[in-house]
Amino acid sequence: MDTTPDSLGPTIDVAMLADAVQAVRGKLFILGGGWDTLWVRSFPARHPTLAIGLRLRVPVSWGRENLKLSVELQDADGNGLLPHPLSHDIRLPAGEQKPQGATDLGLIRSFTFNNLVFRKEGPYSFVISVDDQPVSRLRFTVRERPASRA
């Protein structure tokens, strides 16, 4: 089996949880990023919005014209918490459109999730997949905020 970096297919080299993310012209604009614990008042908890910013690296030699990038939210037992994964269909540059001298393509994407419901405290993760094959897992914990002392 060939295990050179180009033979491994797409990889995630940046993935970050944030309060908000925009992907514009090859850059991630991140607000409130880099956290790994979501503090809530009580359970079940409805969180108004959170986002993921990521950069996918695709080897130029990968040989496909398109791919599907998906994100699914799972609980500690691996149960999916969304009706279906959020997906982006991405058309890759072909032939002369590929950057000369580049070994891979860096693709910037953001995913925004509104009104997520967390039924209990504990670990959760966003599973990032390419063509329905997991390539990365972004882990975080949802915890109840301690009661403030009077």
User: Per-residue pLDDT for the chain (150 aa), expressed as one digit of tens each?
Assistant: 444 444 578 999 999 999 999 999 999 999 999 999 999 999 999 999 999 999 999 988 887 889 999 999 999 999 999 999 999 999 987 766 556 666 788 899 999 999 999 999 999 999 999 999 999 999 999 999 988 765
Provide the 3-class DSSP secondary structure of residue 36.
coil
pLDDT, residue 16, reads 97
Report the pLDDT value the prediction gives residue 4, as an integer from 0 to 100.
Answer: 47
Q: What pLDDT sits at residue 129?
A: 96
Query: Please, how many CA atoms are within 13 Å of residue 24, restricted to the half-sphere of its CB?
Result: 4
Q: What is the pTM of this model?
A: 0.86
Q: Write down the pLDDT at residue 13.
A: 92
Closest CA to 64 of 38, 91, 41: 91
pLDDT digits (tens, 9 = 90+) for 105-130: 889 999 999 999 999 999 999 999 99
3-state secondary structure at position 93:
coil
Alpha-carbon distance values, 66 to 15, 27, 126, 148 (Å) = 21, 21, 22, 51
- Which domains are delineated in the chain? 5-144 (2.60.40.2550)
What the block records as the tokens of 91 is: 């058309």
pLDDT at 38: 96
From residue 111, alpha-carbon distances to 18, 50, 61, 86, 108 in Å are 10, 9, 27, 8, 11
Question: Which pLDDT score is estimated for 99?
Answer: 62
